[in-house]
């Protein structure tokens, strides 16, 4: 293998696309519709609404496409893992079929837009395959195939794979696709602005007030007044009494781009047995490469997160050989109680505020579908698919079981984190390391940066009080309860939390970082009473 280090610990999509940049919103303004969140959902929604002739403002808290969309594997497929058999069981054959049709309608819209604007985005039709390496996994594929046949999905069963993994069975969904998501979306951004759409970056929506008009308040102090608002911000920035934090859980997963030694197989692959593995082809600098990933775990429960990259690298080396390691990155995804995204009015009677969230790692079609459904709702049009995805639905099975299990997990973390015995001290840290430590008898979060400075934080999550855990791969503090993430200095990276972690007060109140020597001196002093 090439001895080079990782060229960049960031998604390859961000590397080879030049995106336009936009100013922060500094003054109050108004629009017909405000769209919050500049990923595939927000950009496509904004574009479709502008096509309807609406005056649309798109806000992003950071830079466009820097969130979940920028970290995707970008498979454009209706094969969302094992889902159709389960949907048939819980929702019935008709709804399972609607789920498939909805995904394929999103697929068709993406393809249509690529053709309409002649977008060069490495779009390639390929089959999607689920594969099993155990007998149990093979049985699940048989059930899923049965569901395909009942629903009318074009699929088939194979007995082997075109690479070095011994599979018991593989289930093919024909004629799916993969692409470069940022090349595609940068063209939609351009079309949106040509239609008169306005975009503001570094503009965080922090609250929404519902009066005669909607008011969206932003971190800079500027307000957007509008008739309708659409939250496409991964975790909804506004809950509106929808209690979304208790109805979804967050998972992290890992991906790397490699130049393989062995031949690159056509197709997009996903294993159904644990540990999960995802594989697809891509192009980088005109060369075919592979994206290999997996290792999902609930946010804040990965323990040693570097372990996950190592596991993927080992799998990639064994299966394809690694000539060169190019990029590695991770993503965070939200899953709803019944695995179907929440798309539609934020609560049953609200016809002005819409949300789109809970895409369970399948954001390319689900995000595009959300844009289709919400833009139809804003235009007052109905659709066959609205009731399946409406956020106010509640199916007793599986939603109740999942709700109890998710919220039981939250209760356990809330208590467990508080009772945890912590032995490490901040002075044990190495450069670049983060640890949960004991500081003056209390649990605290410590990180030592490259300048030998230690950043000490209260590890109590500012959302609802669970204890955050260190994520060494991303250098963030992650909350196991609802997936909030904070940087090493406590600033919010990902909600639902909207306040930073509290910096611990030192004997030097103006100073938020301390050196190891200062720590030793401080711990020797008795606490003041």
Q: Which residues bind to ligand FES, rule: CB under 6 A? A: 245, 461, 463-466, 479, 481-484, 496-497
Whether the ω angle into residue 259 lies within 30 degrees of 0, i.e. cis, is no
Burial class (CB in 10 A: 0-12, 13-18, 19+), 507: exposed
Distance of alpha carbon 199 from alpha carbon 60, whole angstroms: 8
CA quadruple 294, 298, 304, 306: dihedral sign: positive
Nearer to ligand FES, 137 or 483 (CB): 483
Q: How far is the CB of 217 from ligand FES (least distance, A)?
A: 21
Assess contact for 229 and 223: CB atoms under 8 A: no
Question: Shortest approach of ligand FES to residue 228 CB, angstroms?
Answer: 28
**Which residues are CB-contacts of 263 (< 8 A; sequence separation ≥ 6)?**
none
Nearer to ligand FES, 74 or 461 (CB): 461
Task: Compute the least distance from the CB of residue 436 to ligand FES, in Å.
Answer: 15
Smaller CB distance to ligand FES: residue 282 or 497? 497
**Identity of the residue, 455 or 463, whose beta carbon is nearer to ligand FES in the bound complex:** 463
Give the torsion sign (CA, 427, 433, 438, 442).
Answer: positive
What is the smallest separation between the CB atom of 79 and ligand FES, expressed in angstroms? 31
CB of 416 to ligand FES, least distance (A): 13
Which one, 111 or 498, has the nearer CB to ligand FES?
Answer: 498
- Asked whether the CA dihedral 473, 479, 480, 483 is positive or negative, the reply is negative
Nearer to ligand FES, 222 or 464 (CB): 464
Strand order in the sheet with 469-471: 469-471, 476-478, 485-487, 492-494
- Report, in Å, the least distance between residue 233 CB and ligand FES: 15
Contact between 132 and 206 under an 8 Å Cβ cutoff? The reply is no
Cα–Cα distance measured from residue 328 to residue 7, given in angstroms and rounded to the nearest whole number: 9
Least distance (Å) between residue 439 CB and ligand FES: 21
- Dihedral pair phi/psi, residue 307, rounded to 5°: -55, -40
280 strand-pairing partners:
291
Which residues are paired to 102 by β-bridges?
none
Nearer to ligand FES, 270 or 466 (CB): 466
Q: How far apart are CA 80 and CA 369, in angstroms?
A: 14
Phi-psi bin for 509: left (phi > 0), alpha (psi -120 to 50), beta?
alpha
Judged by CB, which is closer to ligand FES: 328, or 462?
Answer: 462
Closest CB 299 distance from ligand FES, rounded Å = 9
């Amino acid at each position: 293998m090439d001895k080079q280090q990782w060229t960049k610990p960031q998604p390859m999509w961000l590397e080879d696309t030049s995106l336009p940049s936009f100013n922060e919103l500094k003054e109050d303004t108004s629009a017909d519709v405000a769209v919050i969140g500049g990923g595939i959902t927000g950009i496509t929604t904004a574009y479709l609404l502008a096509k309807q002739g609406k005056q649309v403002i798109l806000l992003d808290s950071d830079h466009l496409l820097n969130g979940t969309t920028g970290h995707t594997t970008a498979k454009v497929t209706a094969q969302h893992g094992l889902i159709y058999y389960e949907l048939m069981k819980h929702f019935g054959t008709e709804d399972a079929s609607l789920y498939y049709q909805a995904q394929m309608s999103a697929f068709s819209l993406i393809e249509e837009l690529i053709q309409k604007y002649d977008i060069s985005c490495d779009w390639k039709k390929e089959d999607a395959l689920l594969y099993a390496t155990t007998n149990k996994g093979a049985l699940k594929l048989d059930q899923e195939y049965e569901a395909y046949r009942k629903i009318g999905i074009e699929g088939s069963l194979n007995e082997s794979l075109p690479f070095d993994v011994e599979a018991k069975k593989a289930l093919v969904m024909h004629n799916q696709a993969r692409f470069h998501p940022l090349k595609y979306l940068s063209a939609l951004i351009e079309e949106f602005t040509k239609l008169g759409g306005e975009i503001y970056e570094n503009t965080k929506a922090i609250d929404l007030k519902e009066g005669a008009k909607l008011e969206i308040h932003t971190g800079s102090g500027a307000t957007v007044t509008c008739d309708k608002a659409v939250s496409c911000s991964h975790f909804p920035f506004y809950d509106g009494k929808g209690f979304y934090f208790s109805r979804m859980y967050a998972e992290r997963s890992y991906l790397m781009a490699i130049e393989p030694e062995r031949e690159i197989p056509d197709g997009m692959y996903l294993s159904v047995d644990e540990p999960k593995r995802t594989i697809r082809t891509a192009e980088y600098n005109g060369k075919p490469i592979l994206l290999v990933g997996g290792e999902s775990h609930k946010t804040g429960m990965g323990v040693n997160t570097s372990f996950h990259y190592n596991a993927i690298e080992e799998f990639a080396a064994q299966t394809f050989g690694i000539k060169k390691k190019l990029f590695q990155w991770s993503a965070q995804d939200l899953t709803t109680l019944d695995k179907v995204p929440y798309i539609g009015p934020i609560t049953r009677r609200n016809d002005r505020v819409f949300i789109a969230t809970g895409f369970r790692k399948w954001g390319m079609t689900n995000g595009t579908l959300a844009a289709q459904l919400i833009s139809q709702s804003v235009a007052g049009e109905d659709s066959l698919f609205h009731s399946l995805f409406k956020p106010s639905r509640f199916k007793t099975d599986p939603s109740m079981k999942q709700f109890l299990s998710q919220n039981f997990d939250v209760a356990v973390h809330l208590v467990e984190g508080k009772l945890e015995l912590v032995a490490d001290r901040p002075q044990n840290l190495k450069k670049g390391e983060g640890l949960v430590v004991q500081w003056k008898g209390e649990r605290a979060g410590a990180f030592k940066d490259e300048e030998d400075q230690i950043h000490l934080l209260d590890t109590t999550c500012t959302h609802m009080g669970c204890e955050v855990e260190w994520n060494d791969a991303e250098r963030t503090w992650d909350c196991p309860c609802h997936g909030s993430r904070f940087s090493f200095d406590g600033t919010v990276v990902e909600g639902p939390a909207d306040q930073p972690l509290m910096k611990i007060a030192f004997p030097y109140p103006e100073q938020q970082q301390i050196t190891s020597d200062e720590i030793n001196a401080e711990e020797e002093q008795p606490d003041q009473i």
